[in-house]
Amino acid sequence: MTVQGTIVLILFGVGLVLWLLDLVRRDRLYVGYGVVFIVSVFGVILILVIPGALSIVTLLVGTIFPASALTLLALCFIVLMLIYVLTQVTIVSNRLALLVQEIAIQQAKEAHRTDVKQGTHGTDRA
């Protein structure tokens, strides 16, 4: 990769880290997601800064061009993050379903108690 491309990617990475920190600080991004993204960005920056690291990654991944290796790593990261985020969404969805069921049970119990107190329970017999 050229020096100019490396500098642009490093500046982009630093800007991205600052933006992520601001999102976490303002409670717009879950801290766990922020940590994962920041560690990933720093990992890519280290690969770009350390001499020969990009060549090693390119060799390990089995690509011809360094940009292809970084693209492949980025796609793997995106797939892993999608799986992680969808897992978290599923957990929240299941918790929400349980909470709604608990609220419905509590409301039914409250309605039953009110009917018993008013004496209207079971008065609809013929």
Q: What is the pLDDT of residues 15-38, one digit of tens each?
A: 999 999 999 999 988 898 889 899
Mean pLDDT is lowest, of 27-41, 55-69, 96-110, for 55-69
- When divided into structural domains, the chain yields a total of 2
Distance of CA 38 to the CA centre of its chain: 12
Residue 55 falls inside a structural domain:
no
Task: Report which listed range, 1-10, 18-27, 57-66, 71-80, is most confident.
Answer: 18-27
Residue 60 falls inside a structural domain:
no
Residue 84 falls inside a structural domain:
yes
Please, which residues have CB within 8 angstroms of residue 57's CB and are 6 or more apart in sequence? Answer: 47, 66, 69, 70, 73
What's the confidence (pLDDT) of residue 26?
Answer: 94
Q: Are residues 45 and 88 in the same domain?
A: no
Distance of CA 22 to the CA centre of its chain: 16
Query: Which residue range(s) make up the domain with 111?
Result: 68-119
Residue 74 falls inside a structural domain:
yes
Q: Are residues 83 and 114 in the same domain?
A: yes
Kindly report, residue by residue over 76-98, the tens digit of the pLDDT.
889 888 888 888 899 999 999 99
